[in-house]
Structure 1
Amino acid sequence: MKLIVNADDFGYTRAVTYGIADAFKNGIVTSTTMMCNSPHVAHAVDLAKQNPDLGVGVHLVLTSGTPISENVSSLTDTNGSFYSQNNVFDHAKPEDIEREWTAQIERFLSTGLNPTHLDSHHNVHEHAIALPIAIALAEKYGLPLRRAMNVPNLDVAYNTVKRTTFMMRAFYGEQVSYETLEGQLRNVSVLDKNETVEINCHPAYIDPDLISKSSYVDTRLKEYTILTSDRIKNYVNELGIELINYRML
């Protein structure tokens, strides 16, 4: 059984990026995805290059900050900011999503880094409007794509696009605890040795920028503490789980 532990939101703020990098160096995080519309991209790129064994992909954004491409008016409110996750698909046109996500991928490529995979902020790529676009972009760029849902018919839609066998999301919000993560790890450990799982997470340090932009703040530091603990690292070893990133699929 092989496990990818992916930390979302690389580049969101400087403290988030530092927290993710340290969760890789000191814990079980193996992978992360960069928010390429963030003003802190350059800092994230620097840390990615300092940690070449950390898998870094693209965290496709539709619901945080502002677009980096022009002429995508269906994605933004009157202030020019992305709509919230609650109403973005009341407005978004597929052609604007494709244009903006392509721009984000191209910005990542312009840094000289090679992306390991694609996923999305707030998992918006699982929406019926966005999923075909995400799959098409994964095919275009030859990249794996995060499994949107654990349903059999999804494999037909993904076609040849690489993905994990399962996606586990319980380690979030009020469910962030040692017990939740250990339960997920036990579920991974009983799988066939050739099956792969992603557990996504949001470890971070906290800075004023994060507090001003996100409602998910203190729990990120709690995630960091658990993911870097000897208790969890030893448990992964006891279960014989192989930690990988998307480059190894």
Structure 2
Amino acid sequence: MRIMEMRKRLVFRVDDLGYTPAYDMGAYRAFDCGVASSADVMFDSPDTIAALYWLKDKPWLSIGWHRHLWESPVLPPEEVPSLVDEKGRFKWGHRHPERMQEATYEEALKEFDAQMKLCYSILGKYPDVANVKNSDLPLEKAFKAIVEKYGIAYNIFSSAPDHRHPMVCDPQYKDLRYYSSGLATNSSYKLEDFKDYNPLEKMMSLQWTEAEEVFLYGWHPGYCDDHIMEESTCNIHRCKELQACTSETFKNWIIENQIELVNQRDVLNGTHEFQDHLKAIGSPLWIGNFK
């Protein structure tokens, strides 16, 4: 194996796992091709349980808590009335975030706890990571309380200069130099701009500047269906992201640039779980193959 002057580590995270069966079917392709190393799960979505069962026998993947809160609570709606509308769905969705202030701390705490109990009942563990907002909103305080209750690492990212959502990094993780790259974001998800959307170009534009720098890419590779078309502005863009990350062009870019794919536990704990998996399956993306 060639000794590299700069260690280029990358976590390729698939966001929104559990969204719908169609989306997840595509997302699984991103994992199966060996590129994706981390799964961010939405615990309130139509395909959550099936996605958790799919993840159960894949310990080489790290799990993130993608706190969605657009769909329906795990608990019966009557147990969390301050969180739901007349249809039993979270009352704010993605169009009315101001309604989050109507959620009581006690009911939000119950719902977040139920989501983690669902996770543990299938995976036998809790998520590895989460992102917690610094807010006085009862909903946000409840989320932080549950994240801390179950020992989930949070706010582990430092702010990358190109990220449009600045991160508040917990001081204990500052030395990781772990950056969530804004290169994975798109300025417009309007359908009229879709023709100009080129995720592959963005995926291959990442550059490391320090020997121990680690980057995370968060993408939405998967298929689209009527539910996603109705609910999300990021819809058919998901198909193009799937095509990009599973392409031979992207894999060759990883190999040619000697990029070490890792999961989020590897970053936190200094382990080599994902690379060990790539080696075990004989993947060309195993860093030991790079010459």
TM-score, structure 2 as length reference: 0.70
Greater CA drift, 126-135 or 83-92: 126-135
Q: Is the 8 A contact 2:157 2:179 kept in 1?
A: no
Specify whether residues 107 and 52 from structure 1 end up closer, same or farther in structure 2 by C-alpha distance, changes over 3 A only.
Answer: same
CA distance in 2 between counterparts of 1:5 and 1:99 reads: 31
In the alignment, is the contact (CA less than 8 A) between 2:184 and 2:203 conserved in 1?
Answer: yes
Q: Percent identity?
A: 27
Assess if the C-alpha contact under 8 Å between 2:127 and 2:152 holds in 1: yes
SS at match of 2:12: strand
- Please give the alpha-carbon distance, in whole angstroms, between the structure 1 residues aligned to 2:177 and 2:105: 26
What residue in structure 1 maps to residue 26 of structure 2? Answer: 19
Correspondence list, 1:187-206, <5 A: 189-193=208-212, 195-206=213-224
Cα shift at 1:204:
0.5
Equivalent residue number for residue 75 of structure 1: 83
Among candidates 108, 112, 115, match of residue 97 of structure 1 = 108
Change (3 A) 1:114 1:199: same
Counterpart mapping for 1:1-249 below 5 A: 1-62=8-69, 64-69=70-75, 71-82=79-90, 83-85=92-94, 86-87=96-97, 88-119=99-130, 125-126=132-133, 128=135, 129=137, 132-145=141-154, 147=156, 150=159, 154-155=168-169, 158=170, 160=172, 165-173=178-186, 174=188, 176-183=198-205, 185-186=206-207, 189-193=208-212, 195-248=213-266, 249=268
Larger radius of gyration: 2
Counterpart contact for 1:31–1:245, Cα < 8 Å: yes
- Deviation (angstroms), 1:178: 2.1
**Alpha-carbon spacing, 1:147–1:247, altered in 2? closer, same or farther (3 Å):** closer
Determine helix, strand or coil for the equivalent of 2:154.
coil
Per-residue CA deviations over 1:174-203 (Å, capped at 9, x if unaligned) read 4652222222x21xx22332x332211111
Report the 3-state secondary structure (helix = DSSP H, G, I; strand = E; otherwise coil) of the residue aligned with 2:15. strand
Aligned residue for 1:100, secondary structure, equals helix
Q: TM-score, normalised by structure 1?
A: 0.80
CA distance in structure 2 between the aligned counterparts of 1:93 and 1:159, rounded to whole angstroms: 30
- In 2, the alpha carbon distance for the partners of 1:18 and 1:5 equals 17
Q: Which letter does structure 2 place at the counterpart of 1:169?
A: G
Contact 2:74 2:115 in 1 (8 A): yes
Contact 2:63 2:129 in 1 (8 A): no
What is the CA–CA distance in structure 2 between the aligned matches of 1:170 and 1:29, rounded to whole Å?
17
CA contact (8 A) 2:13 2:217 kept: yes
Question: Matched residues in 2 for 1:132 and 1:169: separation?
Answer: 26
Q: 1:138 to 1:238 in 2, by over 3 A?
A: farther
Instruction: For residue 113 of structure 1, report the CA deviation from its aligned partner.
Output: 3.8
Deviation beyond 6 Å, 4+ runs, structure 1: 161-164
The number of equivalent residue pairs is 238
Between the aligned partners of 1:27 and 1:169, the Cα distance in structure 2 is: 22
SS at 2:82's partner residue?
A: helix
Checking the alignment, whether the CA contact within 8 Å between 1:171 and 1:200 is kept in structure 2 is yes
What CA distance in whole angstroms lies between the structure 1 residues aligned with 2:72 and 2:254?
39
5+ residue gaps, structure 1, are: none
Structure 1 counterpart of 2:232, one-letter code: S
